[in-house]
Structure 1
Amino acid sequence: MITTIKTIRNEGLFERGDIIGVGVSGGADSMCLLHFLNQNKERFQIELHAITIDHKLRENSEKEVAFVKDYCKKNGIKFHKFEVNVQELVEEEKLSVEEAARKARYGVMDALLSKNIVTKICLGHHMSDQAETVLLNLFRGAGLSGAKGMEVVRGKYVRPMLYTSKEEILEYVQTNNIAYVTDESNFENEFTRNYLRNQIMPLIKDRFPVAEQNLVSFSRFAKMDDDYISGVMNIDGMIKEDYYVKIPTSYFLYKEPIVNRMLRHALEHLNVSKDVEKKHIELIKEMVKDAVNGVKISLPNKVTVHKEYDYITVVSKEKKYGFESEKLKSGTLEIRSFGKIIVKRTYEVDITKGTHIVDVVKVPTNAVWRSRKEGDVFTKFGGGTKKLKEYLIDKKVPSRLRDATPVLAIGNEVLIVAGLDISDKIKVDENTKSAYIIDYVIKQ
């Protein structure tokens, strides 16, 4: 396992005191990794935990979990077992079995990391896995970022054996008499990766014996180029949040390679780049050129892309809004989809505050904060009544955010549009004795 040791050292995978969770299925690769790290935990100054996830897809899965548990008990390794219902995820989210299993696995591991039960997670991917990933990405129409394949370090996930050959792994397993189980599903060629591994790769290696090594070498060059270009690319104008990225439409005037990379960057930020192909990138670029404001297109992984005035917004998950909250009063009202509405009562009325101050007496006591409804109308500050929908369009509020904008209303009469305006009917005047001053901390 000399290659693995070099990777750990060169990439600085471990820090003193790291609590390492190892994803263990019971197969040769993961058992090799678990044994190797357990033998070298003092050398690397790490604490070791084994993580086994039962996908409940095969009859033998419980036996495999028991096998790993028994191994950990005998070798003094902390063991964590989790069960996930992959089939339920397939049906609920319309995913393939492969996609659902991956999503479930990472959901479990992400939770362990967020709770600080482990500080990093080691995965047993090796050179053959990397070569397959590079080919699959290229077959799907990936560019340079796809050609780099998996990364040795991705956040708190590390792959110490990514440059280690399968032959070296099997030699280590044999030399150290490491028992392992064989997953029969690895031979079911209806799964895309299995088909490539079992049917295509043997033909390639028969004609090109060092194909795997060369593919992995190519992926490393691709990573260096990709990292360099990403480092010099100016994306300061992109607005990146947890579930969406806003890209100025002016950025689409850049050269095509930069535009492609920019879109990939947005998708990777949202962790939804998997299964997004060249045709989808082209679709977004066509949208920028030809589509009118408000148009939405759908991509794989429930991603939607919206044309919103001067921005293209990539959204990882559509949010459903609909709320009815408390009445207007002093204090801070937090609305998850919007942000904070901060209300202070004052008896020193300043008419110049305009749309940030309202007359307490003029606000009906039964007016409530809620999301907009069909038939809502609004008399804007300064006069002029129109449908709320038309007002929001005039204010260039993107369609996907209109339901997220709270309004203070009584019936269908809107008195305040949060963050934007107050109704002329509740504005302060020279007769106002008491007022509410309203400020906003907006998420979008």
Structure 2
Amino acid sequence: MQAVAACLSRYVRQNQSLVVAYSGGLDSTVLLHVANRLADSVSCDLSALHVHHGLSANADAWAESCASFCRAQEISLTVIRVDVPRCSGEGMEAAARRVRHQAFDAHPADWILLAHHADDQAETVLHNLLRGAGVRGAAAMPEGRGRLMRPLLGLGRAALFAYAKHHQLTWIDDESNADTRYTRNFLRREILPLISSRFPRANEHLAAAAGRFGAADSLLDDLACLDLGDCPAEFPLSRKLFREMSDPRARNLLRAMLKWHHVQPPDEARLTEFVRQLLTAGSDRHPRIDLERYSLWCEAGKLHFRNLV
């Protein structure tokens, strides 16, 4: 209660609307229950949003379970059905996350509350580092960005479980969470427990490191803004702008531009080679990157971007 109340006080103004992204699992059930108890005290309208992915045979039953809980708590619930592309090339986990966030983007609430906690943060840091992420990826999940808010980010899962037991809450267990073929499940069930057996505070330290990486990421964004000068943070950008800066600053600016356009940068090797060509190739050369979600290319002295999704 104290953690969520403190987070709401940092972001929410009186009479704004809050919606909890409610899967029906332990984490989001606890968040919804706490937010419901606090809604009147912060003078906010509270509702819940359940994204129906349709990936499990139990998906309809989960939606009904969420509806039942919300009826008992007198909380308005919206259920949105989405289609998760199975052959997008980005993987099922990433595709489901993308369409889920599209559903969040379409919701009119002032704030969307997500139930990620400190153990999720530690898992995300480790996952991103193992995939070769830099400072931005290691920063993992911020407490607040845009309309998204994560009030439980400072708490471990054990605290949520204790709260749920104390208040006799019931929740859904998604059977896919036990499938270690999914990378996050493998890290959560196999790797992090092993690490914690040697380093008992591993999750706490990984989550704290995410905060420090987040501060560094913010400074890198500030540097990118300085390097843009009077240019708006929009494509196309003059190729000359990149040629006037060092290679590390050019790569930082390009990463920031892609982040601000809500797409992931290419892997480090492709990004480095693209920036090298951007800085050194003659005007008759046209460096280009084509990815699943977007394209980057040089033409007529400018760097162009096209979102393909």
TM-based fold match above 0.5: yes
- Mapping of residues 54-133 of structure 1, within 5 Å: 54-86=52-84, 89-91=85-87, 93-112=88-107, 116=108, 118-133=109-124
Q: Which residue of 2 aligns with 1:161?
A: 152
- How far apart in 2 are the matches of 1:257 and 1:29? 40
What do residues 181-210 of structure 1 show as CA deviations (whole Å, max 9, x unaligned)? Answer: 101100111111111111111111111111
Bigger radius of gyration among the two: 1
Structure 2 residue 191 is matched with structure 1 residue 195: no
Structure 1 gap ranges (5+): 319-444
Give 1:210's aligned amino acid. Answer: R
Q: CA deviation at 1:238?
A: 4.5
Matching of residues 99-248 of structure 1 within 5 Å:
99-112=94-107, 116=108, 118-232=109-223, 233-236=226-229, 238-241=231-234, 244-248=235-239
Structure having greater relative contact order (Cα 8 Å, sep ≥ 6): 2
1:202-253 CA deviation, whole Å, 9 max, x = no partner? 1111111111111111111122222134224331355444xx4525344244
| Cα pair 1:304 1:316 within 8 Å, conserved | yes
TM-score in terms of structure 1 length: 0.65
| Residue 7 of structure 1: aligned partner | 7
Q: Does 1:286 align with 2:276?
A: yes
Other structure's SS at 1:234 match:
helix
In structure 2, what is the equivalent of residue 22 of structure 1? 20
Q: Contact between 1:304 and 1:317, CA under 8 Å: does it hold in 2?
A: yes
Are 2:114 and 2:151, in contact at CA under 8 Å, matched by a contact in 1?
yes
- Map of 1:51 onto structure 2: 49
The answer (yes or no) to whether the contact 2:111–2:149 under 8 Å persists in 1 is yes
Output the CA distance in 1 between the equivalents of 2:267 and 2:230.
25
If the length of structure 2 is used for normalisation, what is the TM-score? 0.91
Post-superposition Cα deviations, 1:113-163, rounded to whole Å, max 9, x if no partner, equal xxx3x1111111111111111112212222222221111111111111111
Superposed displacement of residue 295, structure 1: 3.7
Tell me which residue corresponds to 2:289: 297
By how many angstroms is 1:257 displaced?
3.3
In 1, distance between residues paired with 2:179 and 2:81?
22
Q: CA deviation at 1:260?
A: 2.5
Identity across aligned pairs (percent)? 27
Q: Secondary structure at the match of 1:82?
A: strand
- Please report how far the alpha carbon of residue 50 of structure 1 lies from its aligned counterpart in structure 2 after TM superposition: 0.7
The structure with the largest strand share of the pair is: 1
Amino acid across the alignment from 1:202: P
**Which one-letter code corresponds to 1:285 in the other structure?**
V
Question: Any conservation in 1 of the 2:274–2:287 contact (CA below 8 Å)?
Answer: no
For 1:296, the aligned partner's letter is R
Deviations 1:261-305 (A, max 9, x none): 21111111111117x321232132132123743342223x42211
Retained in 2: the 8 A contact 1:284–1:305?
no
CA distance in 2, matches of 1:257, 1:56: 43
Opposite residue 130 of structure 2, the aligned amino acid is: F
Per the alignment, do residues 22 and 247 of structure 1 end up closer, same or farther by CA in structure 2, a change over 3 Å counting? Answer: farther
Cα deviation code 1:357-389 (max 9, x no counterpart): xxxxxxxxxxxxxxxxxxxxxxxxxxxxxxxxx
CA RMSD in angstroms comes to 2.0
- In 1, the alpha carbon distance for the partners of 2:285 and 2:233 equals 21
Q: 1:63 to 1:219 in 2, by over 3 A?
A: same
How many angstroms apart in 2 are the aligned matches of 1:144 and 1:95?
Answer: 22
Query: How many residues are aligned here?
Result: 305
Q: Distance in 2 between matches of 1:5 and 1:212?
A: 23
Aligned-pair CA distance for 1:308: 1.9
Matched, 1:272 2:263: yes
- Deviations along 1:285-343, whole A, 9 cap, x unmatched? 132123743342223x422110223322233228xxxxxxxxxxxxxxxxxxxxxxxxx
2:49–2:78 contact (8 Å) kept in structure 1: yes
Distance 2:167 2:256 in 1: 43
Taking the aligned partners of 2:214 and 2:32, their CA distance within structure 1 comes to 27
Say whether 1:307 aligns with 2:305.
Answer: no
1-structure distance, mates of 2:189, 2:150: 23
Q: 2:154 & 2:250 partners in 1: Cα distance?
A: 31
Contact 1:16 1:44 in 2 (8 A): yes
Which structure shows the higher helix fraction? 2
Q: Deviations over 1:30-60 (max 9, x none)?
A: 0000000001111222111110111111111
CA distance in 2, matches of 1:139, 1:221: 18
> Where does the alignment leave 5 or more consecutive residues of structure 2 unmatched?
none
